[in-house]
Amino acid sequence: MATLMEYVGALHIFLGPYRGNPISLYLSRNGNICRIGPKVYPWKEVVGEGDTPNRAAADFEEKWKARGLSPDMYTGPSWEGGIKPEKPAPPKPAAAPKPAPATEATPASAAQPGPAPETPAAAATPAESVPPSAEPA
């Protein structure tokens, strides 16, 4: 038996300076899949799918925005009843790497400071530079 379609919302498309007729959005349930979309050509190709009506509404909004209309050419979709588009959860950030375990220093070795590291500027002394014009050819 075919399932009945439910009215779930509408959107308006502006035709120049005029507001067009509202386009109805319908929900159809087929097993575990919910589909939301208009039944008017050429917009009937945009169909949101999800396992709940809220996820189908979020999928429809993403596909509608990717359709190529600028935001000033339409309003909506405005949802009726209890439908609130459910966006997918953002991915969890990667866990920070654990720091390497520090070796425990004995109190005797911690009290005696090691030799100071030599700085590279003090180790290398600049040689006198000879102007290029003074070099033999």
pLDDT per residue over 93-133, tens digit each? 777 777 777 666 555 555 556 566 665 555 555 555 556 66
Integer-rounded Cα radius of gyration of the chain: 34
User: N- to C-terminal Cα distance for the chain?
Assistant: 99
Does the N-terminal peptide bond of residue 22 adopt cis geometry, omega within 30 degrees of 0?
Answer: no
11-20: average pLDDT = 78
Q: What total number of domains does the chain contain?
A: 1
Classify residue 109: in a domain, yes or no.
no
Classify residue 126: in a domain, yes or no.
no
Classify residue 105: in a domain, yes or no.
no
| H/E run at residue 99 | none
User: Is the pLDDT at 1 greater than 70, yes or no?
Assistant: no
Number of residues in the chain: 137
Classify residue 53: in a domain, yes or no.
yes
Classify residue 93: in a domain, yes or no.
no
71-84: average pLDDT = 83
- Contact, 14 vs 1, CB < 8 A? no
- Which domain, by its residues, includes 72? 6-79
> How, if at all, do strands 6-15 and 74-79 pair?
antiparallel
